Homo-oligomer: A and B are copies of this chain.
Amino acid sequence: MSERRVRRATIADVAGLAGVSTATVSRVINHAGTVAPETARHVRAAIETLDYRPHAAAQVLARNRTNTIGLVFPEISGYYFASLLRGIAGGAGTYGYDLLIYSAQESATYRTAFQYPVGEQNTDGLLVFTDGLPEGELRRLHARGFPVVLIHWSPPAGLEIPSVTTENKASAYRLVDHLIGVHGRRRIVFLAGPEEHEDSHWREKGYRQALEAHRIPIDGALIAAGGSDREVARATVARLLRDGLDFDAIFAGDDDSATGALTALLEAGRRVPEDVALVGFDDIDIAQHLNPPLTTVRVPVEQIGREAVGQLVHLIRTGEADLLTLLPTQLVIRRSCGCNVVH
Contacts and interface: CB of A to CB of B under 8 A. Distances in A.
A291 B58 CA distance: 56
Contacts of A108: 93
A86 B76 contact: yes
A6 B144 contact: yes
A6 B143 contact: yes
A215 interface: no
How many copies of this chain? 2
B103 A101 contact: no
A207 to B, nearest CB: 24
Contact of A145 (B6, B101, B103, B290): B6
A263 B294 CA distance: 13
A286 B263 CA distance: 11
Contact of A99 (B29, B85, B100, B260): B100
B122 A56 contact: yes
Given A1-B160, A120-B8, A320-B1, A79 B82 contact: yes
A119 B55 CA distance: 10
Nearest to A118: B98
A1 B319 contact: yes
Interface string A53-97: 111111011000010100000011111011101100110111110
7 contacts: A1-B161, A1-B162, A8-B120, A76-B82, A78-B285, A82-B82, A259-B286
